[in-house]
Structure 1
Amino acid sequence: MTLLHISDTHGLHDQLTDLPAADVIVHSGDFTLDGSEKEAIEFMQWFCDLPYNHKVFVAGNHDMCMYGADKVEGLPDDVHYFCNSGIDIDGIKFYGMPMFMEYAMDGTYEQHIKDIPDDTDVLVTHQPPYGILDGGEYKGQASYHYGDYFLYTRVINVKPKLHLFGHDHNAYGSIEQFGTAFSNAAVVDEHYKLKEIKYLTYKI
């Protein structure tokens, strides 16, 4: 199975060209810029029409209109929205959790991380794990970390084959540690402009 990973398109999804072939495309959140329902619908229409056998996505912190929607009605059978949920695709266990500020404020974010199943093969989150493809400048801090330490500890215990995320626009790329391939696929820069990138694909 080949996976294509993209993230943080922020409304520019229709400007992505020459997407490579894959069995599954995964978008790890921030498909909107302002979090409006209109933006989300436009993204989902584009995403549903892509020529992949399966299409998987989670919401990011910009995608506020998705908060409270555990499921998205009317999606085709080959399109899967994960909100602290997952599916088995050809024997590969996918699981995804969104990143909503409400989770951090009401104290449920850590519980959702705890609920990541032990047998997850492909984990999709919006936020990175602390210290892995999550470092960038923020308000003058040159070594600011966008990742979550509790997520880091959960991932190194679960040891998924792949952990796919975005959120930090300055850390595009992939790295392998602890037996897991980590992937940050944020396709825009800190000014929300598309970067020149080589798309990230993985075989699993």
Structure 2
Amino acid sequence: MVLELFNPFHRPKDDFEPTPFAALLFQAPVKLLLYHAYHLITYLRSTPTPSKLPIRVVCISDTHTNIPEDVPPGDILIHAGDLTNDGSVAEIQRQIDWLVSLPHKEIIVISGNHDTYLDPRTRSSLSDEERRGNLDWKRVHYLQHRRLSLTISTEPTPDNTHAASASASSRTPLLAAEGRNQRRIRIYGAPQIPACGPMNVHAFQYPRGQDAWSETVPEDTDILITHTPPKYHLDLSLPQGMGCEHLQEEVSRVKPTLHVFGHVHWGAGKTVVWWDKAHDAYVQGLATPSKYTHGLLNPRLWWNVVRVLYRGIRELLWDRVWGGQSANTIMVNAAQMHGNTGKLGNPVQVVDI
């Protein structure tokens, strides 16, 4: 037992715990190289330029009945699910009451798998006392496979006041501006996740591998809110990933400006996904089966490593030298829970779009 605890090659029994680096180096060395090459190139690229009329989006998720001490101000506050542990009416209502006490102009919430009451299929697993009462969402926008359009009053940035007028009169493929000091933002929220626990207890689950996403997100979505990550993005990507591959394909199709999620606590953070050939090679490489030789003799896997390096460096030079930017999505894993410790510890993520 003692040897097992200190064995660097031992994989955790919990799929939501990270696999030690030494174990990954042994089990998936080529994928580990692919993963770090892609993320190094992504890190070196510039960040997307916010609109001339920026909107500040504050992102949280996975509070599990806890209340973060310091939530920064902003225009929109998003909670991407798992407000509670047990999912009772009383637990959900306490989180709603806390959220509406915050000063943000708009507050948007989706469910997580722990918010049991919100899924009619799992509600019966709660006791009569846990189901007692009615939820009062107050000024919170609750999205459950639902679209929301908001008009947000904004102020031009100090050095872009004159440019703001031109920006407001034109519609980009991702954002629509209405008037000089207003922007319309289209938001879509959906809670479903690949199964990770009992289907009659954990809310909004579907069998892992099933496609629950294709053609479900409106094409003009600016902000997408889900509980699960898209596979391989702010996810426990190695050795296999806990996110959903079908959601990844749907996000690639829609290309929202911002995608907010949680669920995988260890994936918390923020990144930019550039929808280019390097990204295609990254996803295809990590999805390539590599069992017996751990990928060392798999030509398809090595070819994707080469593609990530070649395409990624080309895109990096185009970005940094010529100032070009391909289509992109800012992705935020907003989980507040630090790993599986039961305690909050991850920073609140703030994005200007």
Q: 1:102 to 1:96 in 2, by over 3 A?
A: closer
Q: Following TM superposition, by how much is the alpha carbon of 1:29 offset from its aligned partner in structure 2, in angstroms?
A: 0.3
1:153 aligns with 2:302: no
Alignment of structure 1 residues 1-204 onto 2, 5 Å: 1-13=55-67, 16-68=68-120, 74-76=136-138, 78-90=139-151, 91-99=184-192, 101-104=203-206, 110-135=211-236, 143-177=239-273, 178=275, 179-188=328-337, 189-195=339-345, 197-204=346-353
In 2, Cα distance between equivalents of 1:59 and 1:119: 22
Structure having the higher helix fraction is 2
Point out the structure with max Rg over C-alpha.
2
Aligned equivalent of 2:36: none
Other structure's SS at 2:69 match: coil
Q: 1:190 to 1:157 in 2, by over 3 A?
A: same
TM-score normalized by the length of structure 2? 0.51
Q: Following TM superposition, by how much is the alpha carbon of 1:193 offset from its aligned partner in structure 2, in angstroms?
A: 1.2
List runs of 5+ in structure 2 lacking aligned partners: 1-54, 122-133, 152-183, 194-202, 276-327
Tell whether the 8 Å contact from 1:84 to 1:112 is kept in structure 2 after alignment.
no
Q: 1:163 to 1:102 in 2, by over 3 A?
A: closer
TM-score normalized by the length of structure 1? 0.86
Percent identity over the alignment is 32
Cα deviation per residue 1:133-189 (whole Å; 9 max; x = unaligned)? 1117xxxxx634120000000001100000000001101101101200010011112
Q: Following TM superposition, by how much is the alpha carbon of 1:99 offset from its aligned partner in structure 2, in angstroms?
A: 2.6
Q: Following TM superposition, by how much is the alpha carbon of 1:117 offset from its aligned partner in structure 2, in angstroms?
A: 0.5
Tell whether the 8 Å contact from 2:59 to 2:349 is kept in structure 1 after alignment.
yes
Please identify runs of 4+ aligned residues in structure 1 that moved more than 4 A.
Answer: 100-103
Structure having the higher strand fraction is 1
Tell whether the 8 Å contact from 2:96 to 2:140 is kept in structure 1 after alignment.
no
Give the counterpart letter for 1:120 in structure 2: T
Q: 1:113 to 1:166 in 2, by over 3 A?
A: farther
In 2, Cα distance between equivalents of 1:7 and 1:73: 19
In 2, Cα distance between equivalents of 1:97 and 1:26: 13
Moved more, 121-130 or 90-99: 90-99
List runs of 5+ in structure 1 lacking aligned partners: 137-141
Aligned equivalent of 1:139: none
Give the counterpart letter for 1:190 in structure 2: N
Cα deviation per residue 1:83-135 (whole Å; 9 max; x = unaligned)? 00021112110100013655415x9x734553111110000000000000111
Other structure's SS at 1:170 match: helix
Cα deviation per residue 1:23-48 (whole Å; 9 max; x = unaligned)? 11000000101122211111111112
